[in-house]
Amino acid sequence: MTLIDGKKLSKKIEDSIALEVDNLKPKGVVPGLAVIIVGDDPASHTYVSMKEKSCKRVGYYSIVHKMPDTITQNEIIETIEMMNNNPRIDGILVQLPLPEHIDTTKILEVIDPKKDVDGFHPYNMGRVVENLEAYAPCTPAGVIEMFKEYNISLEGKDVCVVGASNIVGKPMAALLLNENATVTITHIYTKDLSSHTKKADIIIVGVGVPNLIKEDMVKDGAIVIDIGINRLESGKLVGDVDFENVSKKSSYITPVPGGVGPMTIAMLLQNTLTAAKSRES
């Protein structure tokens, strides 16, 4: 069993980005990332803090707009439009989830697609499906980078994606299809999940259910990518896979934490760098 080390790979990507930033600065270009966070969700604030630290490490200009959960939709839209017009900002990220009174789809659609470094705008999602140049959603893009780093070919592989969200499951399936994998998507309405996972060469799961994928649901030698992150009552962080037992049958597996999570931020930094470089040209 080989452990896929997302922390190590993300560090490698960050180091490469930092070098590129050093080369851009003499040309007057400093990549800029703006984040909007609404409310007091502890997990969201943790993620935003991690993104801020990552920006600092690679030399980005970053700004965080912290807003109360009583904010109106129009006020958020006004802030986004201000950042759309700010030449120092290359990437705009709205931390999800948003409060219930905010229409998330409408908010994401306001972001200029050229600054949509999270890859959630329908323009970028559509281009991902068409296998055209686009900002791909960061978590699925990070998973693809892991496969490349570990020389895991996706061509012809049977891949089971567990979860069909717009943020992970759907774009993950599109990126896998672009790599010529055979993709099955399962979700909450799937009748017999294990009948799909047992046949898969690769299982990718991200639904937020601790230990959903168990040893008897995985065939020998399968590759298992765990995108889930859950905090147990004990305070321990775990994924959606019963790591201790599934790892015994896997050829490759990602840990939680230290697997896909760091790669999500690395891809956010990469997308922002790409946006900054397009500004330079």
pLDDT, tens only, 188-215: 999 999 999 999 999 999 999 999 999 9
Of the residues 5, 51, 115, 240, only one is catalytic, namely: 51
Q: In the prediction, which pLDDT does 42 show?
A: 85
Q: How many domains does the chain have?
A: 2
Same domain, 102 and 181: no
Of the residues 5, 90, 95, 116, only one is catalytic, namely: 95
Same domain, 48 and 104: yes
Same domain, 92 and 192: no
Kindly report the CATH number assigned to the domain that includes residue 172.
3.40.50.720
Query: Which helix or strand (DSSP H or E) is residue 36 part of?
Result: strand 32-38
Where is the domain boundary, 69, 96, 113? 113
Same domain, 104 and 146: no
Where is the domain boundary, 65, 97, 113? 113
Compute the average pLDDT of residues 252-270: 97
Kindly report the CATH number assigned to the domain that includes residue 57.
3.40.50.10860
Same domain, 142 and 256: yes
Assess if residue 223 is contained within a domain.
yes
Assess if residue 13 is contained within a domain.
no
- The CA distance from 226 to 228, in Å, is 6
Assess whether pLDDT exceeds 70 at residue 280. no
> CA quadruple 101, 106, 110, 112: dihedral positive or negative?
positive
**Is 41 designated active site?**
no
Assess if residue 91 is contained within a domain.
yes
**Is 51 designated active site?**
yes
CA distances from 48 to 36, 42, 45, 268 (A): 9, 10, 5, 12
Beta strands in 68-216 (DSSP E): 91-94, 158-162, 182-186, 202-205
Assess if residue 281 is contained within a domain.
no
**Is 103 designated active site?**
no
Of the residues 5, 90, 116, 118, only one is catalytic, namely: 118
pLDDT, tens only, 103-152: 999 999 999 999 999 999 999 999 999 999 999 999 999 999 999 999 99
Assess whether pLDDT exceeds 90 at residue 155. yes
Please identify which residue in the block is written with the tokens 């490698």. Answer: 12
Assess if residue 271 is contained within a domain.
no
Residue 190's domain comprises 138-261
Q: What percent of the chain has pLDDT over 70?
A: 99
